[in-house]
Amino acid sequence: MHNVLVIARKDLQLLLRDRLGLFFILAFPAIMGVIFGAITGSFQTDQAILEIAVIDEDHSPMSARFVAALLETGSVQIWNDGESSPSDRQQALDRVRRGRLAAAVVLPSGFGETAGIPWSEPVAIEVGIDPSRTAERGMLEGLLLRAAGDLFAARLRDPAGRRALFASSRQQIERADALPAVTRGLLVQLLNLLQTEAEKGLDRQATDDPDTSNVSAFSAELALARVEFLPIGREPAVEIRTAWRDKVGSRWDLSFPQGILWGVLGCSAGFAISLVREQQQGTFLRLQVAPLARSQILAGKAIACFVTVLTVIAIMVGLGCALGMRPGSPFLLALAALCIACCFVGIMLVMSVTGRTAEAVNGAAWGIGVLMAMFGGGMVPLVFMPGFMRTISIFSPVRWAVEALEGAIWRDYSTMEMLGPCGVLMAIGSIGFVVGTLVLKRRTG
């Protein structure tokens, strides 16, 4: 162990002398974190398709229509088919919290009775939305209202439904004792007028123009539905609620995990290069002659890399906190950092055998790193990626590292939930360690 530490110390000493290397593992990621944070708020998401879950707890024809109308908008993709059980609601909200879905929409029981009747007291649609996608919150709200408008149009278009709608409305007005009799009479008159006009107009329209978009667009203006947002994940800390720091704080929460990953990739690449440079410049030969086991030489490198990754994460977290990031769980963040360090030490060892010269490894390591970052959400956050890229992302260690960091920082993961990404990270790290050392062993005699 003593020798391992001596080697690790030497590697850290070498790193501190390497200005360019330091730039890539500290300054570069910090810049990325700040830039991503600065631009996160301005992403254009109008064209995005929201992946959501709809939990229909009402099971009525109207709620089914609502779901169909929501799908027809072409702007959402529904993860479940609306079949629901109480556990579904929790499951869906959990998926949102873990970033698998943009939002979960719950249609509570009783929703269908009054949905689409403008003058009723609607049952609120409950929505849980990913905090990182607050930019799309307005869009989703609009879509829900549009679907509710569709219900209104549907009620009007269907003769039986229409009659029932007007009958129930007339009943409601007549039963509204609080209103003066005159007003009640006037309202009933108005309702009758509306009904005849509607019958004339809509029946005609239904025969020659099935498009009801005008109606729904018009209806959306009315308060046809009520949307209530459910809390998802961490509430912003009280002290940063006020003023601009509220908004900014959440941005850094999103951008710093990305920035951290760039730093971690920088460490992997840097140590991979130093390992092959050591072989190239012959000091590895000298170490092999020394009374050391080869595993000690590699362990020294690995520990130096490990320590550096942890340091980079710590520095970046410190910087993030200074800007307004508020990690939800320091303990889980530490766990995430440890697992990420293990994973990327393994990756470092694999990177180090991708070439025989420092230049070749440099190129390969950064190529691998950029690919992993690109497909893992290190450049564009995963939530803004098209579906197929998000599927590919499961092969990128960066994706799991980002998930672990986000889980600890703002996704409010439980320790159990952390085991998912952390387990994947540890597995990747172990595979990398085994593959890297085996290849290196074969290569160096």
For residues 284 and 433, which CB has a smaller minimum distance to other proteins in the complex?
Answer: 284
CB of 317 to other proteins, least distance (A): 29
For residues 160 and 442, which CB has a smaller minimum distance to other proteins in the complex?
Answer: 442
List binders of other proteins among 46-85 (CB under 8 A): none
For residues 90 and 281, which CB has a smaller minimum distance to other proteins in the complex?
Answer: 281
For residues 133 and 301, which CB has a smaller minimum distance to other proteins in the complex?
Answer: 301
For residues 7 and 32, which CB has a smaller minimum distance to other proteins in the complex?
Answer: 7
- Give the side-chain half-sphere CA count within 13 A for 120: 22
Burial (CB count <10 Å: 0-12, 13-18, 19+), residue 206: middle
List binders of other proteins among 8-27 (CB under 8 A): 10, 13-14, 17-18
CB of 14 to other proteins, least distance (A): 6
358's CB contacts (< 8 A; 6+ apart) are 273, 276, 277, 280
Residues in the chain: 445
Got the DSSP string for 258-309? HHHHHHHHHHHHHHHHHHHHHHHHSHHHHHHHSS--HHHHHHHHHHHHHHHH
For residues 241 and 286, which CB has a smaller minimum distance to other proteins in the complex?
Answer: 286
Dihedral sign computed on CA atoms, order 393, 394, 399, 403: positive
What's the gap between Cα 219 and its chain centre?
32
List binders of other proteins among 259-298 (CB under 8 A): 281-283, 285-292
| CB-based contact 348:271 (threshold 8 Å) | yes
For 317, the token pair is: 């977290």
List binders of other proteins among 114-173 (CB under 8 A): none
CB atoms within 10 A of CB 413: 26
Among 3, 60, 168, 172, binds other proteins (CB under 8 A): 3
For residues 13 and 171, which CB has a smaller minimum distance to other proteins in the complex?
Answer: 13
CB of 288 to other proteins, least distance (A): 5
Nearest to 345, CA basis, from 436, 215, 238: 436
For residues 167 and 293, which CB has a smaller minimum distance to other proteins in the complex?
Answer: 293
CB of 298 to other proteins, least distance (A): 14
CB of 7 to other proteins, least distance (A): 8
3-class DSSP assignment, residue 106 = strand
Sheet containing 76-78, strands listed edge to edge, beginning at the edge strand earlier in sequence: 76-78, 50-56, 103-107, 125-129, 227-230
Task: Give the binding range for other proteins (CB under 8 A) out of 5-13, 133-141, 142-150, 193-201.
Answer: 5-13
List binders of other proteins among 350-379 (CB under 8 A): none
CB of 13 to other proteins, least distance (A): 7
Q: For binding to other proteins (CB under 8 A), which residues are involved?
A: 3, 6-7, 10, 13-14, 17-18, 281-283, 285-292, 445
